[in-house]
Amino acid sequence: MQTEASEGKYRAPALAKGIDILELLASADDGLGQAEIGKRLGRTTSEIFRVLMVLRERGYVELDEGERYNLTAKLFEVAHRHPIIRRLTAIAGDEMQKLANRINQCVHLCVLNSGELLVIAQVESPDTNVNTVRLGSRIPIDDSASGRVLAAFMEDEELSHLLTLAGNETSARRARFLSDLPEVRRAGFCQGKSLTIEGVSVISAPIFDYTGKAVAAVTTPFIHRLTGMENMPLDQARELLVETCKGLSRRMGAGVANGD
């Protein structure tokens, strides 16, 4: 289970051994003994003994009565000290502002919360005339490009749960929402006329995490100005928004599970 990083220019053998052990134990339901760990990793027991002791002292592994090492919940706890909203807003703020400046439009970031969209970040364009969504707003999924983007990448069971949380909606609106999802999934983004404001186009694209799940959507309510600063064409703005989301997805770990 040697990693490419351990064989590359910057070597940290003890760290590599520790990561190898953690990854191995993560897939061992009943734990592994020291000799078995060494055998599976192609190392001697003396090579991994010190690393196992440090991992045990730091609380990442524990030794059961059968002298088998198991992962503790500490990795899970450490990962969740950085909640997804905090993580998203930390990495997305600067990139959203750069995007807003380039396309001269306001941009906001949404996540799903109890069957609605929650706006967790928002930046304004440099122009005088703007159309923005208030930070903290809750938006029905049926009326939004963001809702379509997040729903389009859900499995059937997850989508069914979302629709239950979203509550009963008029059949026409819900039917339109569901009928749009296959095309959004195929394209990788949602683009079209706003369903709430006449004369406004909406572009939205997903941010994926390391599991491949769409965890947030970056959206711009694109206004077609007649005066003011120079306007970028809608399709060019969409290309930049999609590229921004791809970059944010990489920073969220998207592709790691597939070795990308």
CATH numeric code, 84-251: 3.30.450.40
Q: Which residues, other chains included, contact 92 with Cβ-Cβ below 8 Å and sequence gap of 6+?
A: 109, 121, 207, 216, 218, 248
Q: Domain map of the chain by residue range?
A: 4-79, 84-251
User: What is the domain class of 4-79 according to CATH?
Assistant: mainly alpha
Q: What is the pLDDT of residue 216?
A: 96
- Within this chain, domains 4-79 and 84-251 share the same CATH topology: no
List the structure tokens of 206. 């997903």
Distance between CA atoms of residues 74 and 71, nearest Å = 8
pTM of the model: 0.68
Q: Which residues, other chains included, contact 166 with Cβ-Cβ below 8 Å and sequence gap of 6+?
A: 115, 116, 140, 141, 142
Model confidence pLDDT, tens digit, residues 63-96: 998 899 999 888 766 765 657 788 888 899 999 9
- Model confidence band, residue 172 (pLDDT cutoffs 50, 70, 90): confident
Which of 57-66, 159-168, 227-236 bottoms out in mean pLDDT, i.e. has the lowest? 227-236
Distance between CA atoms of residues 102 and 243, nearest Å = 13
